[in-house]
Structure 1
Amino acid sequence: MNEKILVIDDEPSVHEVVRAYLEREGFIVYSADNGLEGLRLAESKQPALLVLDLMLPDLSGEEICREVRRRSDVPILMLTAKSAEEDRVTGLELGADDYLAKPFSPRELVARVKAVLRRTGGGDVPLVEHLSFDGGALRIDTSRREVVAGDRTVDLTPSEYALLLALAQYPGRVYSRFELINRVRGYDFEGYERTIDAHVKNLRKKIEPDPARPRYVETVHGVGYRLGAKPS
């Protein structure tokens, strides 16, 4: 496997447990006990995934998440004592891909890391390599995991990409939030509606000409979402 994981947390016990379980599964683990060191390692080591605590002595996890998202679409798993639903949704809206509350099961953390990395790798193989909608206004190259909206190549997190791909493979079909959470994968059932809504909000900001009046990711009230654009 030999994929690199960066753990940013100020608790030595967390580093010890997470390192032991991840290295047992073949991962290479780097550690930082503060935000500035974490950002430095994220830049120099180019990890496949970040495990990020929200409560750090210098920078907050939210600040780190914003800065990482400004530079990269590396998957982020937030690990924190903030377990309220609103804190979880805030983390997802900042661009995190998953959220695990302390105290946590090390085995569950390993499972979630693997699930997020599977999404990063693309999950199920799409039926076609190139998807185009609205006369080419929205294009998806699945072989390169590249999305172009208008004349812009947009950077999507793994969860945002998986969500868009699920909708794009069957345009016009209405997906319930429960169906989408299973396609995106990696989350508990509890709070799944807010989880999907947070990813849809972020996705619209990136691909819609006017996020307030979406033409691609449409809401079907009382049911879920669909891709409203026509294939081209």
Structure 2
Amino acid sequence: MDKVNILIVDDDKNICKLINLYLKKAEYETTICHDGSKAIDLIQKTKVDLVLLDLMIPEINGWEVCKLLKIEHNIPVIMVSARDVIKDKIAGFDAGADDYIVKPFDPEELVARVKARLKSRTSEIRNIKEKNVVTIHNLAIDMDQYQVRMDGQEVDLKPKEIQLLHFLAKNKNIVFTREQLLEKLWDYNNAGDTRTVDVHIKCLREKLKNTTGGWKIKTIWGVGYKMEVQ
């Protein structure tokens, strides 16, 4: 597994050396630069997992660097600054900073903050991934891969069939009308041809001949469909 790489951005070389020393002791990889323009360039070319960012740096200040990073990469940013005025802290968080540490700081506290932020980031990524994968008994729908497996075997479904199945599974035991499904999955603003939904449901049932029980795509007569899960 690749080591976590932390980018240190500060024009004070002594501060960089101190931070670098403690991060290395904590077994992190580090990259150091001394101005905002170089920081942005490095992030375009190098794997960076977290940025320790001073505010008062040459070329492009820390606030602007943080804004650009959040827009383009959404990398965790901890601001490390001598500016202890509340309005500067607020401006830092408004720019997208995940944390703010005031100089002078305890290096061990800084490392602890880094660890906490990285742990939180890992949890966030895992939660996003879990939301994109729905598992119901013997059925697994992975929207990151656009892949459906039943009893461990991949099922050949068309993209819209996968989207429909994922939506029903994610909202299990909730009944949706044909019109609602058309609006949510086909972006129809009017009733349109509701037979489109019926055809896709029919195809799903034919391809997902579930014999192990536990779930089924059920017709609610006069209303619509739901994924019924026991």
TM-score, normalised via structure 1 length: 0.53
| In the alignment, structure 1 residue 63 sits paired with structure 2 residue 48 | no
Segments of 4+ moved more than 3 angstroms: none
How far does residue 141 in structure 1 lie from its aligned partner after superposition?
8.5
Partner of 2:53: 52
How far does residue 142 in structure 1 lie from its aligned partner after superposition?
2.3
Partner of 1:142: 127
Partner of 1:41: 42
How far does residue 144 in structure 1 lie from its aligned partner after superposition?
1.3
- Supply the AA of the counterpart residue of 1:144: K
Aligned partner of residue 118 in structure 1, secondary structure: helix
Higher relative contact order (CA 8 A, sep 6+): 1
- C-alpha distance in structure 2 between counterparts of 1:90 and 1:145, whole Å: 33
Partner of 2:80: 79
Rg larger for: 2
**1:115-154 residue pairs with structure 2 within 5 A?**
115-122=116-123, 142-144=127-129
- C-alpha distance in structure 2 between counterparts of 1:95 and 1:88, whole Å: 11
Gap runs ≥5 in structure 1 = 124-139, 148-232
- C-alpha distance in structure 1 between counterparts of 2:13 and 2:54, whole Å: 12
| In the alignment, structure 1 residue 114 sits paired with structure 2 residue 115 | yes
- Supply the AA of the counterpart residue of 1:43: Q
8 Å Cα contact 2:64/2:95 also seen in 1: no
Residues 103 and 141 of structure 1: CA distance in aligned 2, closer, same or farther (over 3 Å): closer
Partner of 1:8: 9
- C-alpha distance in structure 1 between counterparts of 2:64 and 2:117, whole Å: 21
Residues 104 and 142 of structure 1: CA distance in aligned 2, closer, same or farther (over 3 Å): same
Aligned-residue sequence identity (percent) comes to: 31
How far does residue 83 in structure 1 lie from its aligned partner after superposition?
1.0
- Supply the AA of the counterpart residue of 1:96: A
- C-alpha distance in structure 1 between counterparts of 2:24 and 2:10, whole Å: 17
- Supply the AA of the counterpart residue of 2:127: T
- C-alpha distance in structure 2 between counterparts of 1:70 and 1:119, whole Å: 19
The Cα RMSD (Å) is: 2.1
How far does residue 145 in structure 1 lie from its aligned partner after superposition?
6.7
Q: Deviations over 1:10-63 (max 9, x none)?
A: 000011000000011110000000111111111211211000000012111011
Gap runs ≥5 in structure 2 = 133-230
Residues 56 and 146 of structure 1: CA distance in aligned 2, closer, same or farther (over 3 Å): farther
- C-alpha distance in structure 1 between counterparts of 2:117 and 2:37, whole Å: 24
